[in-house]
Amino acid sequence: MAKVLVVDDSETVRSEVSNFLTSQGISVSTAEDGLIGIKAIKSDAELKLVLCDINMPNMDGLTMVEKVREIEEGRRLSIIMLTTERSKTMVERGKKAGIKGWIVKPFNGNNALNGIQKLIAAN
């Protein structure tokens, strides 16, 4: 079963996204901020995709993506930002770090599912 990590400080978002993806046959793990997200990525080689918020305590999502790119060995994990942010500066920073997509909150599972499945399949 494909595995996705959801990194978001909001328990509501983690639950909502996890419930939706699980109902679509996707296995989900969660992390509450960027620091915990990095630990989860390091310890789970089975991950196919990460959905990541930007505004989080301890470590923000874009910094997390940049750190993940520094520590990756061989694999290039697909990461999608899931955020209320829409600024061009942030999008460009994300693209530079090699993110695969951008979802503007609130999460709309039906809108996002096709893209998520494509990215999982591409991995």
Nearer of residues 42 and 119 to another protein, judged by Cβ: 119
| 50 phi and psi angles, rounded to 5 deg | -125, 130
For residue 55, give every residue at least 6 positions away whose Cβ sits within 8 Å of its Cβ, in sequence order, or none. Answer: 9, 61, 83, 84, 85
From 33-41, 57-65, 66-74, 99-107, give the range in contact with another protein by CB under 8 A: 99-107
From 11-19, 37-45, 57-65, 66-74, give the range in contact with another protein by CB under 8 A: 11-19
Report CA-CA distances (Å) from 68 to 11, 40, 50, 73: 23, 11, 11, 10
Does 91 bind another protein (CB under 8 A)? Our answer is yes
From 33-41, 42-50, 59-67, 110-118, give the range in contact with another protein by CB under 8 A: 110-118
How many residues sit in the footprint of another protein (CB under 8 A)? 33
CA atoms within a 13 Å half-sphere pointing along the CA-CB vector of 8: 26
Nearest to 119 by CA among 101, 107, 94, 95: 101
Residues forming the site for another protein (CB under 8 A): 10-13, 15-16, 19, 55, 80, 83-89, 91, 95, 99-108, 111-112, 115, 118-119
